[in-house]
Structures are given as structure tokens and as C-alpha cells.
């Protein structure tokens, strides 16, 4: 322990010394009315590229978009839905009709009315085949979805603006987990800005490079590539926004931690390796929340379709060792893609660290130990970097020719779509609320880019169970179906489940109102409520 803390302290000292040359401050200034303008600096652990809810954004993009786009609702730290543009909603007893009631007087940041028509417009973009969004999964049960997909209809029959403040969504079959499918909410887009854009061109539209019209608590005023994003409070937001300006800073984790010490950063998602150091800083508060998602290795199903190989990879990795050594115990192992507690049976294979069993399975499967196995990941996050080092060491220890493959975040989705990877680090997600969310990562018709199945995995028997569970209203029957699905998922190993981390946050004491969220990509979920004091 003493060695780990000493290393962290040394890194902190070095990074602090660098700040004079590379850090920019954003002191509070005075507005035209004479009132002091407030600001805060937030850490972005990756460099965003585009801010498009229709696209599968990486974590830093999702964090930024949560400040600019509001959905009808969000998900709070307890994984329950929290009202946003919709102040309330009703669910029919048969789980086939959902009615959302928008707040009174909603307007976009440019003073245009925000109405139910914007909601209908946005949701139809998500399902339009010409848009080709991979985020269509929540809408598959909506009446008219198949017709839109096959081109016999232009819009979803089941999504209707009853009036300016009421949206009704009708489903073709019972879907008890419908709300959970939306995760932290799909950001609503401005029809008056994008309504005349051809659907086939909308994914590349200039608006998403710097969305300056906002439904969220902040409006983007600057996007300085590879440096920062500047956001100003949205005066038209439905609630009062507590901080005038947010600076989202793209720095490395060691610099972000050092800036906590100097008071130049107010919110940082910290690595467990830095916990002891950060807890010793004056004027800094550390908080945590359990993650609703998990860190995993995508394992390319097109290359490794023998489940024995995927099982072997999992046996070869000392996952508990990573949790104890890298996370400092702040996490737990997981043995299925589904995380919802009531769906988990107690007879799953634990895949405890067993190199001998891993070698045995690989030999049975005829694995070619001479072939190169690339482990791809986006570097720069301390715990992930350290976990990758352990995984590589574990794989090499049983004779696998494993090599590190650092990649740029901008290349990740293309590599997945073109199956140009062997193993790839991926994390996050909000899988805890309902198994229907996890199904998006498993179903054959959700193989990326059609959905979130980024291991390119497919099993028809598992598909049948997942689809049956999604439309079963009886809670006991539904639990039994999903437990069978989890057992099969556990056997097939479509992903190499590494761990469920505790998400750790450090905030300056000048920032008030921060509530930790376990989903790091939703960490700014209540940013409108934040204030700063000097």
C-alpha cells in the first residue's frame, strides 16, 4: 500500500509542476449587470469528436451531451427514472401504452417553442433506415416499426403528438422494460433546425459538431478540439441553472488529479489508484456509487465463434486480482451480460482464475497459439490501462501471442463495424434496471451498427429467450425466462466480463449539489442543480 501511495504522490507532484505551462484557469468574472459570473471546471477523460444522440457516443461525448440535450427523462443514481422534459408519464396496465406529459412552456435556447412535435420528429429519426442510427433498440416494439424499417411507412404509427404537451407511444406487444431501454434518455432534437435535412445526410450535419441550440441546462458556445468545451447556462431551461459557465477540460487523468490539488478543477472521475492521494487533498470531497454497467472485453465473434475459446480467455484472466490490485477492492466480478438482480440465478459458472483450464480448453478447440491476438483499447484512463497490462500478462502466461494495440477513440466504431479487432476494451452502460437493456448487447439483429451488440455475437436460442422475456408481463414468469437466458449467456461468453467498478468522484469543496452517479457517462446528471461558492 505504501508503495502505491508513493507512486501516486510522485505522479501528482510531476503533473502539478507541469500545470504552469499547460493548464488554463477560468476565474469568475463580472457580468453586465454587475453580478459575479460563476464558473466551474470539469474533467473529460476522453476527447469528444461529435455530439450526436443518433450516434453511439463514447463516454466523454455522452457526458457533454447530457448537458446540452434533455430527453423526456433521465436515470438517477438509484436507477429510477427522473423527469426531465416530461414532468410525468402514465403506463397502461397491459404495458402497451405509455403517455408522456411535457412541462408547461418549454422552449429551445433560441426561444423557439419545444413541443411534442419535436419528440415525434426525434424518435422517427432514430428509426429511419436512411439515418441508420444504431440506437433503434427502444423502438422495436413500437407500432409501425417494421413498416418503417421495410420502407412501407415514413413514420412510426405508434408515436403520436396528441397536443403540444402530450406524446403517446403505443407498443405492438407488452413491454414491461420499455422505459429502461432508453437508459439515461434519448436527447430530443430541434425540428426547426433539422427538419429540412435529408435523413441520409443528417448523421454528418454540421449541427452535431457544435450544437448551439439546446434543450438542456447548458448551451455549447465553444468546442476547442482536443482542448476543451465551453458551455453557458441556458436561460430558457425549465429550471434555474446554478452555474453560469462550465469548462469541460480534456486533460490526462494525472493532470486532472493535480488540478484538484491546485483548485483548478472542480469535478473529476478518479481512478482507484489515485484514491489514497486524492483523499489526502485539502478542499476535496470523494464520493462513490455502484456502476450500473461493467468493464468488458469485446471478443470478435466472427473470429472466435467457438465458445471454448471465449471461455478459455475468461479463465485465463485473473479478474479478482485486477479488482484487488488495480481497483483497490472497489469492484466485483460479474459472470453474465445481464445485471438485473432478480434475473440472476445462483448456479452460474464463476470462471475463477484457472490458467490450466484455459490452456486445456484452447487445446481442445485447436487454437493456434502462434497467431497474434491484439488487445485494443483507448489509453489514458489509469485503471483501464493497468487492467489491460494485467490481461496481457495473463494471456501471455498461457502461451497466447497477445499484443497491445492502442487506438484513437475516433477509430473505435469503425473497427467494430468492420470486425477489425480481436479483443477490445469497452465499458459503461446502464444495464441494472431491466434485462431488456442487456438484450441490446446480445441479440442477433442488434449486431453493430444495427444496435449495441459490439461483440458481433449471435445465438438463436438465446435470442428466443430474450425476446420471450421482453414481452412477458407476469413478473414470476419473466424472471424464470431471463434466468434461463442468463445461464445460456454465462455458458456462451459473448463478452469477457472483467468487473463492475465502483465509480469514484472527487469534487472541490467550492462545488455544491453534486450527487455521485454510478454511470460515469451520466455523471453530470444533476448539473443544473450545482452551485459554486468562494
Distance CA 169, CA 490 (A): 34
Structure confidence at residue 34 (pLDDT): 54
3-state per-residue secondary structure call for 323-385: HHHCCCCCEECCCCCCCCHHHCCCCCCCCCCCHHHHHHHHHHCCCCCCCEEEEEECCCCHHHH
Q: What pLDDT does 18 receive? A: 35
List the one residue out of 9, 238, 271 whose CA is nearest residue 109.
238
Cα distance between residue 268 and residue 487, in whole Å? 37
Closest Cα partner for 114 from 22, 3, 6, 190?
A: 190
In the structure grid, which three cell numbers stand for residue 99, read together?
Answer: 403517455
- The CB-side HSE value for 167 (13 A sphere, CA atoms) comes to 24
- The whole-number pLDDT of residue 32 equals 52
| Longest alpha-carbon distance in the chain | 75
pLDDT (tens digit per residue) in 110-131:
999 999 999 999 999 999 999 9
HSE-CB at 132 with a 13 A cutoff on CA atoms is 11
Confidence (pLDDT) at 58: 78
CA 140 to centroid of chain Cα atoms: 21
Angle at 80 between CA 41 and CA 527, to 5 degrees: 15
pLDDT along the chain (534 residues), means of 10: 30 38 46 74 92 87 95 91 96 93 98 98 97 88 95 97 98 90 84 97 96 97 95 98 97 88 93 87 92 94 98 98 92 95 96 98 97 95 91 98 94 95 91 90 93 95 96 91 98 97 94 94 95 91
Phi, psi (rounded to 5 degrees) for 498: -90, -60
Mind listing the pLDDT tens digit for each residue in 67-89? 999 999 998 998 889 999 999 99
Quote the DSSP letter at residue 112: -
The three cell numbers locating residue 469: 422475456
Q: Which residues lie closer than 8 Å to 199 by C-beta, 6 or more apart?
A: 125, 128, 130, 131
Q: In sequence order, what are the residues at sequence separation of 6 or more whose Cβ sits closer than 8 angstroms to the Cβ of residue 342?
A: 479
Radius of gyration of the chain (CA): 23
User: What would the grid cell of residue 265 be?
Assistant: 478543477
Do the Cβ atoms of 330 and 503 come closer than 8 Å? Answer: no
DSSP state of 203: G
Q: What grid cell was written down for 522?
A: 451520466
What are the E-state strand segments in 258-310? 267-270, 284-290, 295-299
Cβ(502)–Cβ(290) below 8 Å:
yes
pTM of this structure: 0.75
> Which residues pair with residue 284 across a beta bridge?
508
What is the pLDDT, as a whole number, of residue 451? 85
* Residue 67: CA count within 13 A, CB half-sphere: 33
Residue 127 CA to residue 139 CA, distance in Å, equals 7
- Output the pLDDT for position 138: 85
* HSE-CB for 452 with a 13 A CA cutoff: 26
Burial class (CB in 10 A: 0-12, 13-18, 19+), 111: exposed
90 phi and psi angles, rounded to 5 deg? -120, 140
Angle at which helix 475-492 crosses helix 307-316, to 10 degrees, equals 80
DSSP, residue by residue, 84-95: SSEEEEEE-TTS
- Counting other chains too, the contacts that 85-94 makes at CB distance below 8 Å and 24 or more residues apart are 85/114, 85/119, 85/188, 85/215, 85/238, 86/167, 91/179, 94/174, 94/473
Q: Which residue, 485, 381, 375, 376, is CA-closest to 441?
A: 485
Q: How far apart are CA 447 and CA 460, in angstroms?
A: 13
Secondary structure element (H or E) that encloses residue 284, with its range: strand 284-290
Q: Alpha-carbon distance 262 to 19, whole Å?
A: 9
Amino acid at each position: 500500500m505504501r508503495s502505491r501511495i508513493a507512486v501516486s504522490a510522485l505522479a501528482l507532484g510531476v503533473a502539478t509542476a507541469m500545470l504552469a505551462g499547460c493548464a488554463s484557469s477560468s476565474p469568475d468574472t463580472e457580468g453586465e449587470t454587475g453580478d459575479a459570473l460563476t464558473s466551474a471546471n470539469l474533467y473529460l477523460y476522453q476527447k469528444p469528436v461529435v455530439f450526436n444522440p443518433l450516434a453511439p457516443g463514447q463516454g466523454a461525448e455522452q457526458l457533454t451531451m447530457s448537458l446540452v440535450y434533455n430527453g423526456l427523462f433521465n436515470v438517477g443514481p438509484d436507477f429510477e427514472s427522473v423527469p426531465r422534459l416530461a414532468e410525468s408519464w402514465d403506463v397502461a396496465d397491459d404495458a402497451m401504452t405509455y403517455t408522456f406529459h411535457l412541462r408547461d412552456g418549454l422552449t429551445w435556447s433560441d426561444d423557439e417553442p419545444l413541443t411534442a412535435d419535436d419528440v415525434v420528429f426525434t424518435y422517427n429519426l432514430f428509426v429511419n433506415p436512411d439515418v441508420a442510427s444504431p440506437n433503434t433498440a427502444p423502438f422495436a416494439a413500437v407500432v409501425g416499426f417494421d413498416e418503417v424499417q421495410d420502407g412501407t411507412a415514413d413514420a412510426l404509427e405508434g408515436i403520436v403528438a396528441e397536443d403540444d404537451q402530450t406524446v403517446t407511444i403505443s407498443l405492438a406487444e407488452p413491454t414491461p422494460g420499455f422505459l429502461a431501454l432508453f437508459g439515461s434518455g434519448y436527447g430530443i432534437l430541434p425540428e426547426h433546425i433539422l427538419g429540412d435535412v435529408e435523413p441520409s445526410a443528417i448523421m454528418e450535419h454540421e449541427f452535431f459538431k457544435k450544437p448551439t441550440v439546446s434543450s438542456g441546462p447548458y448551451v455549447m458556445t465553444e468546442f476547442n478540439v482536443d482542448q476543451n468545451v465551453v458551455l453557458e447556462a441556458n436561460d430558457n431551461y425549465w429550471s434555474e441553472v446554478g452555474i453560469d459557465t462550465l469548462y469541460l477540460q480534456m486533460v490526462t487523468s494525472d493532470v486532472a488529479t493535480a488540478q484538484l490539488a491546485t483548485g483548478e478543477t472542480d469535478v473529476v472521475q478518479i481512478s482507484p489508484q489515485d484514491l489514497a492521494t486524492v483523499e489526502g487533498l485539502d478542499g476535496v470531497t470523494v464520493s462513490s456509487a455502484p456502476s450500473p454497467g461493467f468493464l468488458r472485453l469485446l471478443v470478435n465473434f466472427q473470429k472466435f465463434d467457438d465458445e471454448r475459446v471465449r471461455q478459455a480467455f475468461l479463465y485465463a484472466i485473473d479478474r479478482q486480482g485486477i479488482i484487488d490490485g488495480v481497483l483497490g477492492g472497489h469492484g466485483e466480478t460479474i459472470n453474465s451480460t445481464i445485471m438485473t438482480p432478480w434475473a440472476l440465478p445462483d448456479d452460474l459458472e464463476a470462471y475463477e482464475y484457472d490458467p490450466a483450464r484455459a490452456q486445456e480448453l484452447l487445446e481442445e478447440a485447436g487454437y493456434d497459439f502462434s497467431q497474434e491476438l491484439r488487445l485494443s483499447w483507448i489509453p489514458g484512463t489509469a485503471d483501464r490501462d493497468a487492467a489491460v497490462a494485467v490481461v496481457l500478462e495473463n494471456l501471455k502466461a498461457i502461451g497466447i501471442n497477445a499484443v497491445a494495440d492502442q487506438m484513437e477513440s475516433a477509430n473505435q466504431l469503425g473497427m467494430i463495424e468492420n470486425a477489425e479487432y480481436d479483443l477490445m476494451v469497452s465499458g459503461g452502460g446502464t444495464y441494472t434496471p431491466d434485462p431488456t437493456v442487456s438484450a441490446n448487447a446480445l441479440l442477433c439483429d442488434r449486431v453493430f451498427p444495427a444496435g449495441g451488440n459490439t461483440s458481433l455475437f449471435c445465438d438463436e436460442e438465446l435470442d428466443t429467450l430474450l425476446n420471450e422475456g421482453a414481452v412477458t408481463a407476469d413478473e414470476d414468469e419473466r424472471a424464470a425466462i431471463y434466468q434461463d437466458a442468463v445461464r445460456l449467456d454465462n455458458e456462451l461468453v459473448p463478452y469477457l466480463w472483467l468487473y463492475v467498478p465502483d465509480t469514484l468522484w472527487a469534487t472541490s469543496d467550492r462545488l455544491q449539489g453534486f450527487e455521485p452517479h454510478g454511470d460515469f457517462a451520466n455523471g453530470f446528471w444533476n448539473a443544473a442543480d450545482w452551485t459554486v461558492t468562494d
